[in-house]
Structure 1
Amino acid sequence: MDNPLRTRDDLQDAVRALCEPLTHSPGGARVKVGTTAAHFDPEAAELEGFARPLWGLAPLAAGGGEYADWPVYLDGLTSGSDPGHAEYWGEARDHDQRLVEMAAIGFALALAPERFWAPLRPAAQERLAAWLGQINHRTPADNNWHFFRVLVNLGLENVGAPHDPEGTEKALDRLEEFYLADGWYSDGATEQRDYYIPFAMHFYGLIYAGLRPGTPRAARFRERAEAFARDFATWFAADGAAVPYGRSLTYRFAQAAFWGALAFAGVEALPWGQVKGLLLRHLRWWRGRPIFQTDGTLSIGYGYACLNMAEAYNSPGSPYWAMKAFLPLALPEEHPFWQAEEEAMPEVPALHALPHARMVMMAGPHVTALCGGQWASWNPRHVAEKYAKFAYSSHFGFSVPTGSVGLRQAAADSMLALSDDGRHWRVREESESKIDGHVVHSRWSPMPGVEVETWLIPHAPWHLRVHRLTCDRTVHSAEGGFAADRNGAVVEAGAGSARAGVSGIVDLGGERAGEMIVVDPNTNLIVPRTGLPSLLGEHPPGEHWLACAVLADPDPAAFEAAWAQPPTAADLPPR
């Protein structure tokens, strides 16, 4: 995308450019982006392809932006909601994907009815309202999905169509039960504290606050977002990259949608120039990534097209949730967000504990999150890799396995992988963890008869790891640092250390051998071919103490300087 992404006009152009490759069905109601499947039916997937661009098109319309294909969307709203039309979107069931996509349409009616409602014929308006109204008689997933009912009813109310105020209040009441403290929510009754907090729970709450500014709920949503903003700023690096963590990472620049939602709701949690910078730098970081397919549509993946990292609910149209990042286009040019000069990153602490997320954030050339681990009870794909690694990086990303045999397939970066047969490796999944100052402590068991206690200790620019391993039989261990691009990288491995380019790991116990593992391609989220510096060991039955230091730095000169002076066992805290 040849777009500087610095002004309101630039972002308007970006929305149009992202939508231009999408091909609508003859009736306008379906968009088939690709040939892969999600767990839901193809009709819902093609509705997803139609609806998700509205997260960007509705703000474009509300802000007076031009778009040549407005009539196509009017045709689609007419055809898709007509039970007698071949492109009818279908009846919604409990927990149906259609409920998710209804929210984008309700949002469009709330934000820009002059584009998406007023031009429809009365019969089409009646059918669209009836189709959307199904959400008031269906059971959503018990998490951020309750906001979908809220958004649909806000849209229906805005256009004078039948809606359900009581159902809206009940949904909002349930969402209140997910609030924790300090600006943090849970996404339902789970341990997950991932991007669904900023780009779902806060994002929808701030839309509500912008549309209903005088209500007590709106005031609470604004106050919570202001509290959350300083914590969330620590997830972003100076180059605009955010720390990839958790599920749904194929939504890409939705990671920064929270910053635009602050502007929409009028919440100056940080100076407007800093808020603007956080959003625009993030968009520019994505501009440099090969995230588009040959036809110009967004691919499933993160830093490149990669189905291996996706969830079962990711259809080819799923990535267009990224359009949430364009919410500020609904604001006029005169808004202080647009008038502000873009500013550098806000000052963030070198170390910042996030107890609600079980993380300690390390600022620097890349942001590192030291993690105690979270557990998603419904097991999204690669759940351990997305929630339970020891560390996550804005520059180095993380890896997911390709198979179940061998370390090449396991791709166990930022993990201690354990095996009792030398072929099949187990890692931290579920854990009990806590934050003690800036030290992350966890207890976990990868298999019966094997117990591990882990401490993660910041030691900038390094971090230290200490493990107390107890096993009732001989086990093999492989502890990985950060996976790094191996194209042209310096590779070294020997007694007690290993490095791959600007990523390395050093044993502080003197018992393990260094090895650079060439992991399978398409395991890492950021680059497709990586090497994984690792420490390998073998441990007989009993108790063992393992310790290492891990370093990664995007700047080769800074890496070399730090690599030449590694921490020693003397830097470890007493047992």
Structure 2
Amino acid sequence: MERRNFIGTLSFSGLLAFMSPTKIMASEAVGIEKAIKPTDDRTYWYQLLYKIAYPVVANLAEGKLKQNMVVVKSPTFDSRSASVTYLEAVGRTYAGIAPWLALPDDDTAEGKQRKKMRDLAVQGLDSCFASNSPDQLNFEKDYQPIVDSAYLAQTFLRAPEALWKPLKPATKQAIVAAFKSLRNRKPFNNNWLLFGSITEAFLMSIGEQYDEARLKQGVTKLNEWYKGDGWYGDGPNLAFDYYNSFVIHPMMVDTVAVMLAHGMATQAQYDLALKRMQRYGVGQERMISPEGTFPPIGRSITYRTGSFQALSQLALMKKLPQDIKPAQVRCALTKVKQNMYETKGTFDNKGWLQLGFCGSDPNIADYYTSTGSLYMATLSFLPLGLPASDPFWADPATDWTAKKAWKGEHFPKDYHVDF
């Protein structure tokens, strides 16, 4: 299915406040094949993020996520409860939209749309954590909630003023209790250890009792598994996939940042984690072809552009490696998004992401993958947390490394690093 525009024209977006999410999505389905035609990269990004995230956030706000979310499981889906898919959709979507929602309000079309999304996001959390909610999320069963509680925790670390502080006291208490309830299950001995770490880091950041051993274990073990040149092992062995971006670098840096702020890590430890992430970012940027494609390697390729969370977070933090200009990352990722999200079959006729890499292909989905899993895709939109005036958005279009290289233009040489 081709791209569709959830917001339509500015005059139509004003009408959204008076319509329910289900009616909005139904009314827009008529124009589902119409492509978004943005005036600039930033407009394209925020409209696309809105399109992806809206079904999750709006239905959650209305108390109808479980009722309306189209759930498709991998043909090889294992014995875990399918109910984990709803927490996956919420945790992953919120982690991706958090930086954008953290920007201050303004009177632009984007600002009005962002405020609407923020209001819906807060309303959705208050709704689903209410004791009588039909959208109550599963924290009690299976091991999967360890994963997506971590993304929800990362959400609050990324946007505390926008998405944590406005919540009702009862919602906050319920979230804290849900996070603490995970301690009766141990994360697996791989990247999952960081899920426990960042969840405990968030609890520490808000003055709640935290499990110090669980907090430190992920950071300690991942450092032991570091393989060099920007790559951590996923467990004792190296996995040539995108988990260094989906999980490891972003959660390592964010966890150590909280530990540093609370005197539990040194500045040198944080700097090392950041330098390793920057080195990994060099490779991420170079993996984007001149045409705006990237290799479909390893597990979880149905997470689509979530593969570029590490590079996107470096841009958000204004910590891109020295030889990488913000505008070249913007241009490269814009082209990737166009290639990926304009392919027929990426969205179903109700606006939900479908299992696949580029388009729809359920057979490419892993045994742990269902519809909610796919919302990891939002994690490549983190630079929307930068204001429109930032060089990432304001600088002229710039070719990325592979595009320069294959045009016969000068590009920086690349060398192994020892840290």
Q: Percent identity?
A: 24
Contact 1:28 1:73 in 2 (8 A): no
Structure 2 match to 1:36: 72
3-state SS, counterpart of residue 227 of structure 2: strand
Equivalent residue in structure 2 for 1:193, among 234, 240, 262:
240
- The one-letter amino acid paired with 1:282 is V
Contact 1:83 1:90 in 2 (8 A): no
Gaps of 5+ in 1: 351-362, 366-575
Structure 1 match to 2:379: 324
The Cα offsets for residues 410-442 of structure 1, whole Å up to 9 and x where unpaired, read as xxxxxxxxxxxxxxxxxxxxxxxxxxxxxxxxx
Structure 1 match to 2:192: 145
State the TM-score, normalizing by the size of structure 2: 0.74
Structure 1 232/71 Cα, relative in aligned 2: closer, same or farther at 3 Å? closer
Q: What is the correspondence of 1:167-206 to structure 2 with a 5 Å cutoff?
A: 167-206=214-253
Question: How many aligned residue pairs are there?
Answer: 352
Structure 2 match to 1:156: 203
The Cα offsets for residues 78-103 of structure 1, whole Å up to 9 and x where unpaired, read as 4544566554323435x611111112
1:281 aligns with 2:335: yes
**CA–CA separation in structure 2 for the residues paired with 1:31 and 1:282:** 32
Equivalent residue in structure 2 for 1:239, among 281, 291, 315:
291
Contact 1:24 1:32 in 2 (8 A): yes
**CA–CA separation in structure 2 for the residues paired with 1:29 and 1:162:** 31
- The one-letter amino acid paired with 2:295 is V
3-state SS, counterpart of residue 89 of structure 1: coil
Contact 1:29 1:87 in 2 (8 A): yes
- The one-letter amino acid paired with 2:339 is W
**CA–CA separation in structure 2 for the residues paired with 1:298 and 1:5:** 25
The Cα offsets for residues 304-340 of structure 1, whole Å up to 9 and x where unpaired, read as 2111111111111211100000111223334443343
**CA–CA separation in structure 1 for the residues paired with 2:212 and 2:371:** 34
Contact 2:289 2:402 in 1 (8 A): no
3-state SS, counterpart of residue 317 of structure 1: helix
Structure with greater helix percent: 2
**CA–CA separation in structure 2 for the residues paired with 1:75 and 1:324:** 21
Equivalent residue in structure 2 for 1:101, among 137, 143, 148:
148
Equivalent residue in structure 2 for 1:121, among 168, 172, 193:
168
Equivalent residue in structure 2 for 1:305, among 360, 369, 374:
360
Contact 1:264 1:327 in 2 (8 A): yes
The Cα offsets for residues 285-315 of structure 1, whole Å up to 9 and x where unpaired, read as 2233121111121110112211111111111
**CA–CA separation in structure 2 for the residues paired with 1:142 and 1:276:** 35
Structure 1 242/206 Cα, relative in aligned 2: closer, same or farther at 3 Å? farther
| Segment drifting more, 144-153 vs 32-41 | 32-41
Contact 1:5 1:11 in 2 (8 A): no
- The one-letter amino acid paired with 2:158 is L
1:272 aligns with 2:272: no
Q: What is the correspondence of 1:419-568 to structure 2 with a 5 Å cutoff?
A: none
- The one-letter amino acid paired with 1:321 is M
**CA–CA separation in structure 1 for the residues paired with 2:250 and 2:271:** 14
- The one-letter amino acid paired with 2:349 is T
Structure 2 match to 1:18: 52
**CA–CA separation in structure 2 for the residues paired with 1:233 and 1:5:** 25
Structure 1 match to 2:13: none
Contact 1:30 1:47 in 2 (8 A): no
3-state SS, counterpart of residue 166 of structure 2: coil
**CA–CA separation in structure 2 for the residues paired with 1:364 and 1:218:** 38
State the TM-score, normalizing by the size of structure 1: 0.55
1:88 aligns with 2:88: no
- The one-letter amino acid paired with 2:401 is P
1:134 aligns with 2:169: no
Contact 2:97 2:382 in 1 (8 A): no
Structure 1 92/60 Cα, relative in aligned 2: closer, same or farther at 3 Å? same
Structure 1 match to 2:313: 261
**CA–CA separation in structure 2 for the residues paired with 1:275 and 1:305:** 26
Structure 1 match to 2:347: 292
| Segment drifting more, 319-328 vs 203-212 | 203-212
Structure 1 181/226 Cα, relative in aligned 2: closer, same or farther at 3 Å? same
Structure 1 170/271 Cα, relative in aligned 2: closer, same or farther at 3 Å? same
1:250 aligns with 2:305: no
Contact 2:249 2:277 in 1 (8 A): yes
Equivalent residue in structure 1 for 2:101, among 30, 36, 61:
61
**CA–CA separation in structure 2 for the residues paired with 1:272 and 1:324:** 17
**CA–CA separation in structure 2 for the residues paired with 1:243 and 1:90:** 34
3-state SS, counterpart of residue 300 of structure 1: coil
- The one-letter amino acid paired with 2:91 is A
Structure 1 residue 7, shift from structure 2 partner = 3.4
**CA–CA separation in structure 2 for the residues paired with 1:309 and 1:118:** 39
| Segment drifting more, 9-18 vs 315-324 | 9-18
- The one-letter amino acid paired with 1:301 is G
**CA–CA separation in structure 1 for the residues paired with 2:245 and 2:101:** 24
Structure with greater strand percent: 1
Structure number with greater Rg is: 1
**CA–CA separation in structure 2 for the residues paired with 1:56 and 1:286:** 17
Structure 1 residue 346, shift from structure 2 partner = 1.5
Structure 1 residue 180, shift from structure 2 partner = 0.5
3-state SS, counterpart of residue 312 of structure 1: coil
**CA–CA separation in structure 2 for the residues paired with 1:143 and 1:347:** 32
Contact 2:340 2:359 in 1 (8 A): no
Structure 1 331/217 Cα, relative in aligned 2: closer, same or farther at 3 Å? farther
Gaps of 5+ in 2: 4-35, 105-110, 409-419
**CA–CA separation in structure 1 for the residues paired with 2:121 and 2:378:** 16
Greater relative contact order structure (CA < 8 Å, 6+ sep): 2
Contact 1:31 1:46 in 2 (8 A): no
Structure 1 residue 159, shift from structure 2 partner = 3.4
Structure 1 99/83 Cα, relative in aligned 2: closer, same or farther at 3 Å? farther
**CA–CA separation in structure 2 for the residues paired with 1:208 and 1:341:** 34
Q: How big is the alpha-carbon RMSD for the aligned residues of Structure 1 and Structure 2?
A: 3.0
